[in-house]
Structure formats: C-alpha cells, structure tokens
C-alpha cells in the first residue's frame, strides 16, 4: 500500500523538530534553513503549517526537467532528484506551482522531499502527530491535489 | 495510426512519450536534424563549464526511445505535403503520416553587420556551437558577447568560469530588458561589473574585422560609440526565430510562429504544433504568441499529443516565466511582471544585498489576484508564484499582508488554498 505524508496544521505547535530532523537526515547537520519540509508561521491567527512536496502524479517538476534528473521512486511514489544528473538549471523550481522544489546555492543543484526512501524522519520526529506517514487513501492528499490541480489550468489533462 | 513528430527537443520528446502512453498501439516517429541524440539546449552552459559531459545534456538515456518503441530518425525535413499527408525528407525520400506534430523550435538570428560571418563568430545554440566555443574560450582569451538577453546571461557565467576576459555588449538600456525592469536589470549590471565583466549597455556592435595579429585569430569589434574591443571569439546571443521556413506552400498558417487553436492544432486538420515554434495561448493576456520557454514547451508537447491521440484536451494557456542564474545572482520573472495599468504593486529593493522582489496585482475584481512578479536574489519556494498567478487565487486579506511584507508569498498561498481548510 502506497503511503504518503499527512500534514495537519491544526496539530502543529511550530516546534520545528521536523526541520531539524530533515536537515540532519539529509545533511548530517542541524540546519533548518535547508530542511525540505518547512513550517510556516501565521502570526495573525497564531497558527503554524508544516508543508512539503505532495509527490504529484503528473509532476510539473519532473516534466519540466530538461535532463531527466527527476524520476519516480517506484517503491514509494516519491519524485526524486538524481544529483548526478541535475545540472542546476532551476526550471523545476519555477515549474512546481506549490513552491516545494528549491535551488541550493551550496550544491548548485535542486532539492526536494524524497520521503526518505519510505521512512520519513519528519513524521518520526513530530511530537504532536501533525506530520504522519499513513495509507495514501486516508491522507486527504488526493483531495488537496485535486483541489490544486483543478485550480491550475496547465494541470488539466492528466493522461 | 502513425504519429510523426518533427523536432527532437523537449516538446517533441515529451509529446512522443505522452503519445506512447495514450495510444499504446500507435507507430511513433521522432525526427531530429542534428547529429546527436535528443538533447537539451538548457544544459549547454553546464557542458561549457564541464559540470556535465555531452551525455549529461541528453534529454533521456540512450535506450529510452527503443524501450518506448519510439522510432528516432536523424534527418532534415524539407517539406510538408498536407494534401497527400506526407513529409519530404532531405535525402529525397518521403514519409506518410496520419497525425503530425511540428515541434521544430527556433534558430538563432544575428544582425547583418560586416564580419558577422567570420569563422570565430558563433552563436551558442547547438551542441556543435558549444564544442566550437569550448575550443576557443580558453583562459585569458578576449571574448565579446553580443546581447545580454536571457541566453546571453545564461552563458555569461560559463564564459566567466572558463577564465576569459569577457565583454558584454547590449543595445538595450539594461541587461535582460525583456525579463527585467530598470531596477533588476540595473542591479544585475552592477553585479556583473563587480565580478569583472565589462558590461556595455545602450551600445551596438557596428562591425567585426580580422586584425591578423601573430596567431591569426584576432578580431576587432567596432562599437557605435567609436570605441573598439579586441576579440578572439565573438558570441552572438541576439534572439531567435521560429523554424517555419520549410512549411512554405504547406497551407499551414504562420505568423511569427505557427498559428494554433486551443487544442494546439494548426490551420490544417491532423497537423499540430508545440513548443518554441507554436503561437500558443498566453494565460496572462489571452493572446497567442511564441513564448519560447521550457515549461511551456513541455506542456504544449503533452497537450498536443493527447489531442493527437483523440483525447480532446484544451490548452488554457501558459504564463511566461523565466529563471536566470548570472554569476550566482538568481533572478526570476513571472507573468505580467511589468504590471497592469491601475494595478497595485509592492516591492522590496535592497541594492546593497542585491535583493529585489516586486509583486504585481490585477485590477477591479482581480485586485487581490497576483498577476506578475520579478525577483532578484531569491531561491526559496519560488514556484508558488506560478501557482498563485495561474490559479488566479483570490488572496483576500492576504493581499494586505503581502503589501506589508511581500516575502510572505508562501504563507499567502497556504492560507489562501486548501491546505489550511481545517484550521480556519
């Protein structure tokens, strides 16, 4: 059964442990500025929202890549950046309408969530259950994706 | 059913793959006229600095086309007979089609000045051009880059990294005039000068002459201000035009590019066009013109292919957008970055830090909709600008927040879309 990240802003306290866990897993250092999941702050409502890639089916980033550097991990469904192929042209960063592929100046390549190969550290580190990794059918991701895709004209026509 | 795609750039390759998915039993031909496997021009700057090998510029790996049962033909198409539904190839043979996609892209144009045909004057468009440039742009060589548009700026970094003495000559009043306003273009110029590039704006090259110094490679580049620059290599990056000459007499309507409808079909039935050669719909203006950008090319390729496979999929349009990395200074432009009459805008401008962000909003019932943006020195969550413009999301209260702090674009997106449904 395919699993996906379920993000529940209502449960997020803004503790940023997910950002620490993500950066530690990916870089071996605590560097939230390079975390692939980010917690956004809403001062006006006193709320927080964790957000990262939703691993779209027809992924804009993947299609826009001119050198086939973004491919799907068949085991997890994650869209993964292959560092040895990425030339750093950044076209995927403007193509992703959710803003979840970022260029990293230090590496000269782009980075995005790859679900940690099927065992995402952000979910494991979240103390309040705001980030969970569960059966894809239950996450509401489909609903989110459907909403987003409906609102984006260039998304019509999933083959 | 036989589908033929002319042009093996990103649009053609994505179209071939989409056709394979949508019409598994069809015959699919992909025709390219360069002596290489399908590759990406976008990757050429990275090839020039040896970040990737030639193979690293290929759109797909070598076995991909055979695996997908896409027949790749390396041939120049010299004519299209839309009555007989067949192509004339350069070797004299002909090839019949049921559905045809023209994805022939564009070619570089250079101004007709004296000396433009000299052997060490090159465009930077094909892999072969890149090989020539790589052989001439050695450390300490004098290189003059003609044009500081998008392509000029993209190769500027590679040239600088090769250690050449670089001059850039742009006839517009600023760098990248078609993607940046005065502030962004001005900052970019300052940045390049600080990095040791000789940047001349509002300047034209009037002639290139061989001066025949000892090694015989020297040229002199004359400028309209009376000065001249020494050059071992001149690179022209002065714009491109659609590859449509071979369509003469085919009955396919062309203007700047190929005229298409909202299904990317041309004026002739069963003939489609996509990518840099097609005048597709611009989502921002509703007008039809050539955008010549990678994301549009691949969207076109996919939608054209689905229609060729009989799926009736409408193309709603693409916004124009670009990303540019000039010697490490990253810039973006999206949609109506120059703004609309009467629309609000907000900007952050910090020349000392090379930071610039300008958001543009619509008017009347679109006053809280983002219609365009430009940035300098930003890399995080940038794609969300595309998402907000394309989805025409009403930002409501978040417009006022953005007018206070335009950097909070990602928060505006999250708060205005489905993600926070369950908390507000």
Q: Which B-chain residues 300-359 have CB contacts (< 8 A) with chain A?
A: 302-303, 306, 311, 313-314, 316-318, 321-323, 325, 328, 330, 332, 334
- Could you report the per-residue pLDDT of A1-24, keeping only the tens digit for each? 688 899 999 999 999 999 999 999
Q: Can you say how many angstroms the Cα of residue A14 is from the centroid of all Cα atoms in its chain?
A: 18
What average pLDDT is seen over chain A? 88
10 Å CB burial of residue B272 (0-12, 13-18, 19+) is: buried
Segments forming the whole domain that contains residue A91: 3-153
| Residue range B55-110, pLDDT digits in tens | 999 999 989 999 999 999 999 999 999 999 999 999 999 999 999 999 999 999 99
Q: Between residues 45 and 64 of chain B, which touch chain A (CB distance below 8 Å)?
A: 46, 51-52, 56-61
- For B387, the closest of A10, A41, A152 (CB atoms) is A152
Q: Do residues B332 and B385 make contact, with C-beta atoms less than 8 angstroms apart? A: yes
Minimum CA–CA partner of A95 in chain B: B383
Among B residues 397-416, those touching chain A with beta carbons less than 8 Å apart: 401, 409-411, 413-415
Q: Do B383 and A98 touch (CB under 8 A)?
A: yes
Question: In this structure, are residues B321 and A94 in contact, taking their beta carbons and an 8 Å threshold?
Answer: yes
- B26 in contact with A, Cβ within 8 Å: no
Tell me if B385 and A159 make a contact (CB, 8 A cut-off). Answer: no
Q: What is the pLDDT of residue B214?
A: 58
Query: Is the Cβ of B262 closer than 8 Å to some Cβ of chain A?
Result: no
A17-43 residue pLDDT tens = 999 999 999 999 999 999 999 999 988
Interface test with A, best of B60, B381, B397, B400 (most A CBs within 10 A): B381
pLDDT, residue B307, reads 98
pLDDT value for B212 = 73
Average pLDDT over residues B308-316: 95
What DSSP character marks residue B145?
A: E
List all residues of chain A from 67 to 126 with a beta carbon under 8 Å from chain B.
67-68, 85, 87-105, 108
Q: Which residues of B touch A100 (CB under 8 A)?
A: 381, 383
Cα distance between residue B249 and residue A75, in whole Å? 52
Is A26 inside any structural domain?
Answer: yes
Q: Does B127 touch chain A (CB under 8 A)?
A: no
pLDDT for res B423? 41
Residue with token string 């960063």? A93
Question: Which three-class secondary structure string do you get for A128-145?
Answer: CCCEEEEEHHHCCHHHHH
Look up residue A99 and give its DSSP letter.
-
Binning pLDDT at 50, 70 and 90, where does residue A44 land? confident
In a domain, A125, yes or no: yes
**CATH value at residue A52:** 3.30.70.20
Q: Calculate ∠ Cα A32-A37-A39, nearest 5°.
A: 75
Give the tens place of pLDDT for each residue, B353-376. Answer: 999 999 999 999 999 999 999 999
Candidate from B61, B380, B414 with C-beta closest to A102: B380
Q: Which two tokens stand for residue B379?
A: 């890399």
Question: Considering only residues 40 to 59 of chain A, which have any Cβ-Cβ distance to chain B shorter than 8 Å?
Answer: 40-42, 44-45, 47, 49, 51
> Partners of B205 in the beta sheet?
B223
The number of domains in chain A is 1
- What's the confidence (pLDDT) of residue A155? 56
H-helix or E-strand spanning residue B191: helix B182-194
Phi, psi of B317 (to 5 degrees): 115, 160
Nearest to B321 among A41, A49, A94 (CB): A94
Contact assignment for B323 to A90 by CB distance below 8 Å: yes
- CA–CA distance, A63 with B412 (Å, rounded to integer): 26
Residue A159 lies in a domain: no
In a domain, A158, yes or no: no
Residues of B in contact with A9 (CB under 8 A): 419-420, 422-423
Residues 6+ apart with CB under 8 A from B131: none
- What local confidence, expressed as pLDDT, does residue B420 receive? 57
Q: How far is B295 from chain A (nearest CA, A)?
A: 5
Summarised one tens digit per residue, pLDDT across range B393-413 is 999 999 999 999 999 999 999
Secondary structure (DSSP) of B240-299:
EEE--GGGTTS---BSSSEE--TTSB-SSTTEEE-GGGEEEEBTTT--EE----HHHHHH
- Taking only Cα atoms into account, the Rg of chain B, rounded to an integer number of angstroms, comes to 23
Q: Is residue A46 part of a domain?
A: yes
Question: Would you state the pLDDT for residue A135?
Answer: 84
- Chain A residue with CA closest to B419: the answer is A144
Closest residue by Cα to residue B293 from B121, B132, B149: B149
Cα atoms in the 13 Å half-sphere on the side-chain side of B81: 11
- Asked if A93 and B379 come within 8 Å (Cβ–Cβ), the reply is yes
Q: At what angle do helices B409-416 and B383-391 cross, to 10 degrees?
A: 40
Q: Which residues contact B237 (CB under 8 A, 6 or more apart)?
A: B108, B123, B124, B145, B146, B147, B148, B149, B151, B152, B155
Answer yes or no: do B294 and A143 touch at CB < 8 A.
no
Chain A positions in Cβ-Cβ contact with residue B410 (cut-off 8 Å) = 38, 40, 51, 99
Is residue A17 assigned to a domain? Answer: yes
Alpha-carbon span B153 to B170, nearest angstrom: 11
Bridge partners (DSSP) listed for residue B31: B6, B73
Q: What chain A residue is nearest to B321 in terms of C-alpha separation?
A: A94
Mutation choice for A interface testing from B38, B419, B424 by most A CBs within 10 A: B419
Q: Does residue B65 belong to the interface with chain A, where contact is any CB pair within 8 Å? A: no
Domains and CATH numbers, chain B: 2-107+240-308 (3.50.50.60), 121-236 (3.50.50.60), 328-420 (3.30.390)
């Amino acid at each position: 059964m395919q699993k996906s990240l379920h993000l529940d802003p209502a449960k997020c306290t803004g503790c940023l442990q997910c950002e620490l866990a993500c950066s530690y897993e990916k870089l071996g250092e605590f560097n939230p500025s390079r975390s692939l999941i980010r917690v956004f702050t809403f001062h006006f409502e006193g709320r927080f929202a964790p957000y990262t890639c939703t691993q779209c089916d027809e992924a804009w980033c993947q299609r826009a890549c001119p050198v086939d550097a973004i491919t799907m991990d068949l085991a997890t469904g994650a869209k993964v950046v292959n560092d040895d192929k990425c030339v750093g042209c950044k076209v995927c960063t403007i193509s992703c309408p959710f803003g979840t592929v970022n260029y990293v100046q230090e590496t000269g390549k782009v980075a995005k969530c790859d679900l940690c190969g099927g065992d995402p550290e952000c979910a494991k580190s979240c103390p309040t259950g705001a980030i969970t990794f569960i059966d894809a059918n239950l996450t509401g991701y489909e609903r989110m994706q459907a909403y987003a895709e409906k609102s984006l004209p260039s998304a019509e026509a999933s083959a | 059913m036989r589908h033929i795609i002319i042009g093996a750039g990103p649009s053609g390759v994505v179209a071939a793959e989409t056709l394979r998915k949508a019409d598994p039993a069809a015959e699919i031909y992909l025709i390219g006229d360069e002596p290489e496997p399908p590759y990406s021009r976008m990757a050429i700057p990275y090839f020039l600095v040896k970040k990737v090998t030639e193979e690293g510029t290929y759109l797909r790996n070598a076995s991909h086309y055979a695996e997908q049962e896409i027949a790749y033909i390396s041939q120049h198409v010299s004519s299209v007979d839309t009555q007989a539904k067949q192509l004339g190839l350069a070797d004299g043979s002909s090839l019949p089609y049921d559905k045809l996609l023209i994805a022939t892209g564009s070619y570089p144009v250079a101004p007709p000045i004296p000396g433009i045909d000299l052997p060490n004057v090159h465009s930077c468009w094909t892999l072969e051009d890149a090989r020539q440039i790589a052989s001439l742009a050695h450390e300490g060589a004098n290189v003059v880059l003609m044009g500081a548009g998008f392509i000029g700026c993209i190769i500027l970094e590679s040239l600088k990294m090769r250690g050449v003495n670089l001059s850039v000559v742009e006839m517009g009043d600023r760098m990248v005039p078609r993607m940046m306003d005065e502030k962004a273009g001005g900052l970019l110029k300052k940045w390049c000068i600080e990095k040791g590039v000789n940047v001349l704006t509002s300047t034209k090259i009037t002639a290139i002459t061989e001066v025949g110094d000892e090694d015989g490679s020297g040229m002199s580049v004359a400028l309209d201000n009376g000065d001249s620059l020494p050059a071992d290599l001149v690179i022209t990056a002065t714009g491109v035009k659609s590859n449509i000459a071979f369509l003469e007499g085919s009955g396919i309507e062309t203007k700047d590019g190929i005229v298409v409808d909202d299904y990317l079909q041309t004026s002739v039935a069963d003939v489609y066009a996509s990518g840099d050669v097609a005048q597709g719909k611009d989502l921002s203006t509703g007008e039809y013109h050539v955008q010549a950008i990678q994301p549009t090319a691949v969207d076109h390729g996919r939608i054209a292919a689905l229609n060729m496979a009989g799926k009736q999929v409408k193309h709603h349009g693409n916004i124009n957008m670009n990303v540019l990395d000039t010697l490490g200074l990253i810039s973006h432009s999206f949609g109506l970055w120059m703004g609309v009459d009467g629309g609000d805008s907000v900007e952050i401008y910090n020349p000392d830090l090379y930071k610039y962000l300008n958001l543009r909003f619509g008017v009347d019932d679109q006053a809280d909709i983002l219609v365009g943006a430009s940035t300098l020195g930003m890399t995080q969550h940038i794609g969300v600008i595309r998402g907000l413009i394309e989805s025409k999301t009403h930002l409501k209260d978040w417009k006022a927040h953005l007018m206070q702090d335009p950097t909070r674009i990602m928060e505006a997106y999250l708060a205005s879309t489905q993600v926070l449904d369950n908390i507000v």
